[in-house]
Structure 1
Amino acid sequence: MKPLSLCMNGCKGAAVKRFSFDLDAYQAQRLFSPIRDKRGSISLWMNSMKIMSVNAPSPRDVVATLSLVVSKMSRLFLCSETKVFSLNFPFHVYDQNGFIGFKSRNCGDIDSRVTSEILSLVDSFQVLEKSDVYGFSEPIMDSCEVCPDSWVLLRDLMLCEDGYLRYDNDLARANGHLHPRHHVDFFYTGSSTLKVGSAAQFEVEDLVNLCDVNTECLYFVPSKNIGT
């Protein structure tokens, strides 16, 4: 498991814990897959926890970074050259003898076996896409025979809020105020998503501050009040 290495920053009296991990191309490909539904969120949470809990050296060829920021919020931030996105992290993070430990609201320690079972259920068996109750329940019942916490954890993840937002530096599709080059997308489904333009590039710290209620707010400015 990964030794605890905390970056503590003062935010109006609140301590911020930050865990950062370098990603190689293979890890980044797994984590940067587009999120379109709850299955994508769950897959990202499980794969992120696997990376954070493995005591592995930093890769030689770093193409992206993964950060877990814990204060009043608890969120994952993933950053590449042109994209920064963030997701709620619905787990309790604690020091487990100098290593990172995770718990959910109703599940005990979350280890590699549990995360592998959840990945198998949502990715291999695709239980969240099943149209009948038996296709949904049978793989879960089989999983619980070898890992009793599978259903408890999956239920927690199905019910929790995703809190997804993504910054894009999208020069190729830029189209004035309809699709600004620099913009932040909130939510991931077509019926709920909304886009907010930015006059300049967002850094990962800007997104961290946007999500942290302990820092000063960013302000939206209507497009009619800014230049093209």
Structure 2
Amino acid sequence: MKNGGRLQGRVAVVTGAAQGIGAQYARALAAEGASVVVSDVLDAGPVAAQINEGGGRALAVACDVTDAQAVLAMVNAAVARFGRLDILVNNAALFGTVSRKRFEDITSAEWDRMMSVNVRGAFECVKAVVPAMRERKYGKIVNIASGTVFKGQTMLLHYVTSKGAIVAMSRSLARELGDDGIRVNTLAPGLVMSENVRSNWSADKVRGTVDSRAIKREALPEDMCGTLIYLCSSESDFVTGQVLVVDGGAVMH
């Protein structure tokens, strides 16, 4: 891990970080010097152990982002362990294992579950971290949306709608939290070849996405990390309420 990295001395929480893109986010933040709370409903211990064994600082915390008390306990654990909280990456979401289907075949229960995890989960995490950030008059919140918001993806209406809500939420939060020195931005990835996507998306669907890009290759989790580090670092201190799409030029936003 870097001594004197761009996030040296900062403390970050990454939700949904036990695997896939979230795990890569956690590793990237640690590589830039941040102490990282690796949070998930799944076992985040292996990711935290990897960071610690590599010379970084990480703490695994089990947390369901739809449970307000569990989220508050996660934040308290972060502050108790590392003494402060500077960065939240709201990554936890349902996507990789979600079945693609026509909108009329999405059940009300499926819709409600998607909104509970993807939208209310992000809301609960922001509510929980803001007091610690307000104390220092500084913070970075990066909400993870999706390039599908700007394309109008078929067969995933509940997912795309939830990520549209994240964009709107981020803009409103940026207005509310600006006077507190807290920046709120949105990272919107295109289709990224995480383990779950590779397992659940057909080659034809992936190829169609790649063909829509100006840079015609598959996106990997590490492709998202340069933008994430920028949004979490002091380099973006005058940037808030913005959406950065990272998808190889499928969306030119």
TM-score (norm 2): 0.26
More helix by share: 2
> Normalised by the size of structure 1, how large is the TM-score?
0.28
Normalized per residue, which structure has more strand?
A: 1
